[in-house]
Amino acid sequence: MEIIKAPELKVEKQSDGLTIALAQIAPVWLDRAATLEKIINATKLAAKEGANLVCFGEALLPGYPFWVERTGGAVFNDANQKKFYAHYLEQGVVIERGDLAPLCQCAKQQKIAIYLGIMERAPDRGGHTLYASLVYIDDSGNIKSVHRKLQPTYEERLVWGAGDGHGLRAHALGAFTLGGLNCWENWLPLARAALYGAGVDLHVSVWPGGVHNTDSIARFIALEGRSFVVAVSGLMRVEDIPESSPLREAMLASNPPSILANGGSCLMGPDGHWIIAPVADKEALLLAKIDHAKLRQERHMLDVAGHYSRPDVLSLNVDRKRIATVYFKD
């Protein structure tokens, strides 16, 4: 994997500095075990390079449902689509089963925090629906939040359930306060406002892959929130579809391009200037040190949850209950 580093940054106060890594990797598509191994290896590499935080793309574990738009995914009661979904479900991540335990152990050993996009198979919703979830693991190896995507986008609605506000959380890491959103929910003004109100100043946006997604929204969020913005994507190539996958034949039959998702991971500063411009078409580990002092300087100009807000006129209520269909009382 290529390592790309931002220009060396001198931080006046050591406590203001944070080194972050964006791991733009491809899954071993819909193979949970093999993909988790790749994620762990990338995490170890990031830690070796001195990163305090490593971020991965949306639904990377075990992979984004690229088959839906390429195989007539909207055909009702179709035998192939049911077969494909069953395989996807089988490879889903069950947190309660310990599927992320090896990664949590890695985070603890390497003393590095992790943001990772997973396909969560949720026992608390019956165990047969998948959610695009963004998981934060702290540098002690503890899972601190699991944010289920509020609203799947377009064809995603055929295979993903709608999430809730339970995971709209902020996490302290060094001088920074972290929070994250999945893919197009980064365009939701109120979801962003919830994170601003929680104090987020390092915004992590995760994507399945595509410069067309990351290029504009990273700058928009940075300037709106006067925050550092991570936009980290997966990569998906035809070669990443395992020979053993039951979906391989159907995917190849649609004559897909050699690259289905071209990455586009990037890092934007709170002044709207690139720290790392979008990187496309290759697996890479992007590394940069950021300085909290720069953020504080930009908040002098605009602080949407602070001195530039009018809570007496405009306010937001956020329900962070984990939504369930059944509540048992024993």
Instruction: List active site positions.
Output: 58, 149, 183
Please say whether the beta carbons of 27 and 260 come within 8 A: no
Segment holding 171, helix H or strand E: strand 171-173
96 backbone dihedrals φ, ψ, rounded to 5°: -65, -25
Please say whether the beta carbons of 138 and 108 come within 8 A: no
Spatial distance between the Cα atoms of 131 and 306, rounded to a whole number of angstroms: 33
User: What is the Cα gyration radius of the chain?
Assistant: 19
Q: Which of 49, 55, 37, 7 is nearest to 234 (CA)?
A: 55
- For 205, the 3-state DSSP assignment is strand
Please say whether the beta carbons of 239 and 28 come within 8 A: no
**Strand partners for 3:** 285
- For 14, the 3-state DSSP assignment is helix
- Residues with Cβ within 8 Å of 255's Cβ and at least 6 positions away in sequence, in order, are none
Spatial distance between the Cα atoms of 81 and 83, rounded to a whole number of angstroms: 5
